[in-house]
Chain A
Amino acid sequence: MTEIGRYAEIATIVFAVASLTFLGLLSYHYYLNIYYGTYEHQDPTVIKVIGKQYVWLFQYPNGTTVPDKLVLQAGKPYEILVTSDDVIHALYFVDLGYKLEAIPGYTYHMYIEVNQPGTYPIYCAEFCGPGHYTMKGILIVTPSNSSG
């Protein structure tokens, strides 16, 4: 047992290190893709998002501000600027598997492009007070041909 046990132990450790390294490198590759998303989308439409207890304000390039409703076109790149007015929130698109914290004093960029038209929920994923659970919005993705 001792001899075999030692080899089995070393083999398991090596296997674990190898698989963790592989997973780490793979995920870091994707992470950098997300981080440098701007270079792939040359000319994204910029939408500003402000988190406030307990509402998401979406500011469109034409100057209108809409609470809790984000309308995007399918297949078009967007740059979303996330910030907060009061406490920390987190803008969370469940179906996109993506979230970033909205931190007062900071503005973070999020590059997204949705291909599938439909309606998706938006949640706040950082506890922001007793109304946290009411801080929900919807993401509406319209088909790209409908409005050009």
Chain B
Amino acid sequence: MMKVMRKLSEYLKIALTTTSASDIGLMYVALAIVSLIIGSTDASMIRIQLTFNDMSAVTYYNAVSLHGIFMIFFVVMPFSTGLANYLVPRMIGAYDLYWPKINALSFWILVPAVLMSAVSPLFGPINTGWYMYAPLSTDLAVNGGYGVDLIEIALIIAGLSSTFTGVNFLLTILRLRKVKFFKMPLFVWGFFATSILLVIALPPLTGGLVMAFLERNWSLPFFNYQLGGDPVLWQQLFWFFGHPEVYILILPAMGLISEIIPRMAGRPIYGYKAIALSSMAIAFLSAVSVWMHHMFVSVINPVANLITAAMTMAIAIPSGIKVLNWTATLYGGRYRFTGPGIAAIGFVALFLVGGITGVFFPLIPLDYAFNGTYLVVGHFHYMVFAILVGLLGGLMYYFPYFTGKRYDHELGKLSMLLTVVGAFVIATGMTIDGVLGMPRRYAVVPAPMYQPFQNFISVGAVVEGAGLLLMVGTLLWAWVKGPRVVGLDPWEAESIGQPDFHIKPVVLPLSFGKEMDGREPEHRHGTFYPSIMGMLLAVPPIGFLLILHGMMPEGLLSILIFLGFGLAWLYNDYFKLPSMGLPKMGSLPSVKASGASGAVSTPTSIGEGKYDVSLEKGEEIAKSVRTPILFFIIAEIFLFSSFIGGYLYVRNITPSAQLLPSLPVDWYGLPLAMTVILLSSSIPAHFSHHFLMKGKTKLFKALAALTFIMGLTFLSGQLYEFTHIVHFAPQTNVFTAFFYSIVWLHGFHVMMGLTLWGFTLLRTTRIKPFAAATMSTYYWHFVDAIWVIVFTMLYLQLPIYHP
């Protein structure tokens, strides 16, 4: 007993301190399975109500909302991110992700997010549906209490985590890849496309959620039509995220299927390049102009609708190409109908039927009939079940690697078969009710003719549940009691010339706390900082919630705790003297085994040189941080666009806002002076970087300090402006709400820029901060560029913004 306890506490310590992608991947999968249990419980509640009708409507709708939120945000996304963490480095020969510590941070951010969402119904109803349409989500008569606030906070921080993950994987694949682009496994291609979408699609969701949060808690009328707000704005923002999101969900599963099918068929994948590039085509098309196909019944505009419908149909082509190539791979092979083999076929079948049921929606007259009915529900359940089956197929396929055990193949097959059959029964029942016209989200089936098919779905749900339970049971039993895998090639993939990994295992299992190749590391502990920081990220938003509800000291305290801990981490990683004899945090022992990859791990550890690092090296360091900072700036652009675009949408399109007076900005002196100061601060910023690169450290320091002071002047000017000059409250109407939120969002970014500059200056006491200076400079230019738009749009209100 003591031994078990000691082992558990050792595992817990590894979990909290690890920065190895392999470990973090397994933790993601475990988290996804916990969420799957919660999401399935919600699904069972839905089935019970629609079959036996014995629940209150509020409880039923809580289950409906949470079922969607859990399955999408906390099952599929962590599951595929987890498999990517576990597989991508092994597949491309990287010994870890580009930023191991940020990877750990991303994971730990999700833990409180899942927890908050799980307990949210105790704090107030979540009668919103998973897409949380405003103004229902801001309607405090229905959704009072803190339930929706907790969900919003959870999704905001989960979105941040996903953006970090996206940038991290993009850099990992671009920088740490040991194989050529067109030799990368197709799963890596799939996740590469996913990562691009994570960077651009999540920030608008964050923006929209922040608006909804502020409307709920501070009465900023973004979506309140009586003060010029626009409920359609939420739909635009949400679906701009929402449609790329469905590809974020499915592309990794497609990647797994592209790995499994050729290995089960014993033939190389047919049309490798077509499958790889179609992932990129899907990512591109999904981000451009398809999101409005969710809104044919809420935006009536023939031109926009035509473009959306055409683009939506165009996206069927790359999807079809994938199906064709998977099918062609099967041709002439001897297919092994194992658990993962059945999953792959099940995926293709579900995806095919799901795709065909999806063709109705871009045909707008049919969409008028079927939007908001069970046909939509059926269509996406075919798709999400395809995703689930694909991910579980991946889990079963790689199971022998990470446990070193074999599971009973007959039971594995049976469980996967039940899962696929259950999925078909459920989604087909939904589709039939949809064709018959049954509207979604009815707590009581509206007409008797729909009831038989609802019961049919419930039967399918029982089959599905049996399949999932059997699968979990089979795998858990095998993990504990199963026979060991003989050799290092559980699927004979290597012997047919399709090895699974670039980093070949030397010993199985490749389990928790092991090296990438399966060896036991000498010491396994990294740092507690990312895990604690990740879990603390939930605290400042809760602090803001408390402040907005009059609990000022508690709120401030929680924000200060977060900031204090952040400072402690910064100090520990960048300023603590190495002579104190502590091992550098975050440098896992795996670096020792990986030699080559250790050299390019993080931009900050590159900068970790001596004071006399050569200028050529400095140039190299500066160059290497350009791409990452650019990715973050892209994500930031999408965040700002959701606010700036939101203002422009309301200003130009929203009917009720056209009746409002435009923003009463009638003071120009101070903002104009501040603008001049801020924009001209880009000049010392540029030259400080320039002089650092030339080795003139003194000039660099002076100019960086000048930039810092100019930025600080701008901020204090704004502080004066908002305390003494601005003569309207943010709650007045939608324009004032946007004025405050955009200017303050920019101000917050100035603060972050100042933090970067301050950090850079402090770093000069230790090293020549090539990396930090480059980051600060680029970021500063970006902040200035945004201000040009903000100033001309909100203060000068130039006519180009409202033609």
Contact = CB atoms under 8 A, between A and B. Distances in A.
Interface of A: 1, 5, 9, 12-13, 16-17, 20-21, 23-24, 26-28, 30-32, 34-35, 53, 86-88, 90, 92, 94-95, 97-101, 103-106, 108, 121, 123-133, 136
B231 A88 contact: yes
Q: How large is the interface on B (under 10, 10 to 19, 20 to 34, 35 or more residues)?
A: 35 or more
B225 interface: yes
Contact of A100 (B229, B297, B331, B363): B297
Contacts of B225: 104-105
B305 A24 contact: no
B552 interface: no
Interface string B670-713: 00000000000000000000000000000000000000000000
A125 B363 contact: no
Given A31-B302, A92-B372, A100-B297, A131 B57 contact: yes
Contact of B136 (A94, A108, A127, A133): A127
Contacts of A131: 57
11 contacts: A9-B324, A9-B328, A13-B317, A24-B362, A88-B135, A98-B368, A104-B135, A106-B232, A125-B372, A133-B443, A136-B446
A125 B373 contact: yes
A31 B366 CA distance: 9
B331 to A, nearest CB: 6
A35 B324 contact: no
Given A24-B363, A30-B365, A127-B133, 20 more contacts: A5-B328, A9-B328, A20-B359, A21-B313, A27-B309, A27-B366, A31-B305, A31-B365, A35-B300, A87-B139, A87-B231, A99-B297, A103-B298, A106-B655, A125-B371, A125-B373, A127-B127, A128-B136, A130-B57, A132-B57
Interface in B175-233: 225, 229-232
B123 interface: no
Contacts of B128: 127
A34 B139 contact: no
Nearest to A31: B364
A20 B313 contact: yes
Contacts of B655: 105-106
Contact of A103 (B231, B365, B442): B231
B656 interface: yes
A86 B302 CA distance: 27
Interface string B57-98: 110010000000000000000000000000000000000000
Most buried by A among B133, B142, B368, B369: B368
Nearest to A105: B225
B332 interface: yes
Contact of B331 (A1, A20, A86, A94): A1
A105 B136 contact: no
B486 interface: no
B358 to A, nearest CB: 12
B306 A99 contact: no
Contacts of B332: 1
Which has the most chain A C-beta neighbours within 10 Å: B58, B225, B332?
B225
Contacts of A24: 309-310, 313, 362-363
Contact of B316 (A20, A30, A128, A133): A20
Nearest to A131: B57
Contact of B142 (A13, A32, A101, A130): A130
A133 B440 CA distance: 9
Nearest to A123: B439
- Interface residues of chain B: helix, strand, loop or mixed (majority): loop
Contacts of B447: 121
B129 interface: yes
Task: Report the 8 A-B pairs with minimum CB-CB distance, sorted nearest first.
Answer: A105-B225, A97-B369, A125-B372, A27-B363, A94-B437, A130-B57, A105-B656, A133-B442
Contact of B129 (A86, A108, A127): A127
Contacts, number: 156
A23 B443 contact: no
A15 to B, nearest CB: 10
B136 A129 contact: yes
A99 B328 contact: no
B142 A129 contact: yes
B440 A125 contact: yes
Most buried by B among A26, A94, A124: A94
A103 B232 contact: yes
B265 to A, nearest CB: 13
Nearest to A27: B363
Contacts of A128: 136
A117 to B, nearest CB: 20
Contacts of B320: 12-13, 16
Interface in B271-316: 271, 274, 297-298, 300, 302, 305-306, 309-310, 313, 316
Contacts of A16: 316-317, 320
A127 B364 contact: no
A123 B136 contact: no
Contacts of A95: 437
A26 B365 CA distance: 10
B731 to A, nearest CB: 18
Among B229, B446, B447, chain A packs the most CB atoms within 10 A around the CB of B446
B321 interface: yes
Contacts of B455: none
A129 B127 contact: yes
A68 to B, nearest CB: 14
A23 B368 contact: no
Interface string B633-664: 00000000000000000000011100000000
